[in-house]
Chains A and B, each alone.
Chain A
């Protein structure tokens, strides 16, 4: 198993200035000491609620934001220290699809021009580029009549397909999908998910899939990382995470979304109390402790470390030995 992307002890702190003339500085610990690796050919999922740091990780890998500390490697290349040219070449091997397709396509140029832009930047002759655009449009089931339209003339599903076309037009190995279906209707979401699966099989793509929609992540991903307030709290293969979640937060997240089945209404529930705390002032000790019904004194003072509980199942919780959260979903 070859790691394509490796994050080691990555931290990203954003500075917020407030107070008089911005003299007071506070830090938002968007990503705090996260290490993970994405294996070639897999779909790696990151789940978490707003403020968990999942989107920041998506932006750190192609160095759209610089890390505060730690290292990021893509296929052996040290992204944080790469020179301009090295970085450019590495980025050509990655594609990104953003959450909101309407705002990630340039409204002033046609869809074809948006998809063609990466090819231009890579120095492909115009004629070849145009052929490639048509080819890739066919791959994502975008009719050729759509190519000469402007983004606002397209439906949400078509827009997202155009974004996917743009992300794969340079034939990358790795595609970052940041909530690619959350702006779409259910019927259209299924089309896009099936398309992503087909493309992956055909081009042996590696995906990083970021979402807050648990059923979608379960459907698509081979391994899942659960994040809470900038911390990685659990990482496991999808089957293991659903069968034997170790962290109380994972359990709460897995059980929170109501399943589309009225007979499951009286299922066992596990609901977290309270709201996620502020990122500028995260709780001491385990960040979940104010919302966790299993918290003990130790959770309040000592931050739990991420430990391996066998075959790559990582979790960070003091109470794993004492609790049995296992259940069949």
Chain B
């Protein structure tokens, strides 16, 4: 088994709002091995993006990491001072965002923004420019020489995302975090970007953490998957295992809620109610009001995370009790 590059354990993130503290991330633990692709999947407000930002210690105020450990290559990032943390951001761990138009600087040419990133490693400007062109070629930007001289608004959505990916891989990070990298793109462009990420991960031997709400993206690219609900990781495991034998009722329903054929073949399973408000979580398991298989205990006690076998965890009272093992 490959060495663990990143180990997150018991991560807690809290936002202090006017209506009291909101726990956006509640005891999240996962790890990523060298060269592995982990996807965190969940609906809006489940804490997946906040978890990703925590790794870079970029949680926006009034959010604050209040507990847990984020160990990257043997170092707990939460112990570092701001100056040492800068050595990790962009260099060891970098991140691409959902909307490249917001993330790229509109007043600088796209090539310069990549060059600037390379120059952070004390590379002279001319060599950095050549490196930037090279990296833009690697992300398969058409006409890289011309495009490097274009401003972000002159590029299409797909090209902007390529420039951003180029900027983020230009310093050879060991972990790339991609927060909804294809959500703002059209489907034919999404397919291109997913292929690119998959190729880069093999070529550069990067680990990849993908944050998405799209189970199709997860199935397409991830080795392992973590399903989040209401700030907690409710199920993790190998992607094939989770899709074929989901253990948590939420994962099971989520997979059945996706249309996979015409209406006359199968009626969609719908999950009653909506995603809970994090500032006002129901007691016990946060999913219990929407769960058709809930037990009495579910509304009282929040289940613990149970490890079925290494790398396969679930957080549900239905799993792990005596009844589960007898079945």
Contact = CB atoms under 8 A, between A and B. Distances in A.
Decide if A and B are genuine partners: yes
A186 B254 contact: yes
B156 A276 contact: yes
A156 B274 contact: yes
Given A193-B259, A258-B194, A49 B186 contact: yes
Contact of A191 (B218, B258, B263, B270): B270
A158 B272 CA distance: 12
Contact of A262 (B189, B243, B290): B243
A256 B188 CA distance: 5
A256 B258 contact: no
A276 B190 CA distance: 13
B43 A218 contact: no
A264 B216 CA distance: 10
A98 to B, nearest CB: 19
Nearest to A220: B263
Interface in B179-198: 186-192, 194-195
A260 B243 contact: yes
Interface string A193-232: 1100100000000000000101110111000000000000
Given A188-B274, A190-B271, A262-B239, A218 B216 contact: no
Contacts of B272: 191
A271 B270 CA distance: 32
A260 B188 contact: no
A216 B259 contact: yes
Contacts of A49: 186-188
Given A190-B268, A218-B262, A185 B216 contact: no
Contact of A259 (B186, B213, B219, B275): B219
A271 B193 CA distance: 11
B158 interface: yes
Interface string B248-277: 000001110111111100011111101100
B159 interface: yes
Nearest to B263: A219
A189 B142 CA distance: 37
Contact of A190 (B44, B194, B195, B270): B270
Given A186-B43, A215-B258, A155 B275 contact: yes
B294 to A, nearest CB: 16
A185 B213 contact: yes
Q: How extensive is the interface on chain B, given as a class?
A: 35 or more
A188 B43 CA distance: 10
B159 A275 contact: yes
B186 A276 contact: yes
B217 interface: yes
Given A193-B268, A252-B188, A275-B158, A187 B263 contact: no
Contact of B43 (A158, A187, A256): A187
Contacts of A269: 191
B16 interface: no
B48 to A, nearest CB: 12
Contact of A257 (B158, B216, B243): B216
B187 A186 contact: no
Contacts of B253: 187
Contacts of A215: 258-260
Given A186-B254, A219-B268, A253-B187, A259 B260 contact: yes
A265 interface: yes
A212 B257 contact: no
A177 B95 CA distance: 36
A263 interface: yes
A254 to B, nearest CB: 10
Contact of B219 (A197, A262, A274): A262
Contact of A263 (B195, B221, B240): B240
Given A186-B213, A187-B257, A262-B240, A256 B274 contact: no
B216 A258 contact: yes
27 contacts: A49-B187, A157-B274, A185-B43, A185-B44, A185-B274, A186-B43, A186-B257, A187-B254, A187-B290, A188-B274, A189-B257, A190-B258, A191-B270, A194-B268, A197-B263, A212-B187, A215-B259, A219-B259, A220-B263, A253-B187, A255-B191, A256-B187, A256-B188, A257-B216, A258-B220, A260-B216, A272-B188
Given A271-B191, A275-B158, A276-B186, 5 more contacts: A155-B274, A158-B274, A194-B268, A253-B187, A256-B188
Interface of B: 43-44, 142, 156-159, 186-192, 194-195, 213, 215-222, 239-240, 243, 253-255, 257-263, 267-272, 274-275, 290
Please provide the 7 A-B residue pairs with the shortest distance between their CB atoms, ordered closest to farther: A219-B259, A258-B220, A49-B186, A190-B257, A187-B271, A185-B43, A190-B270
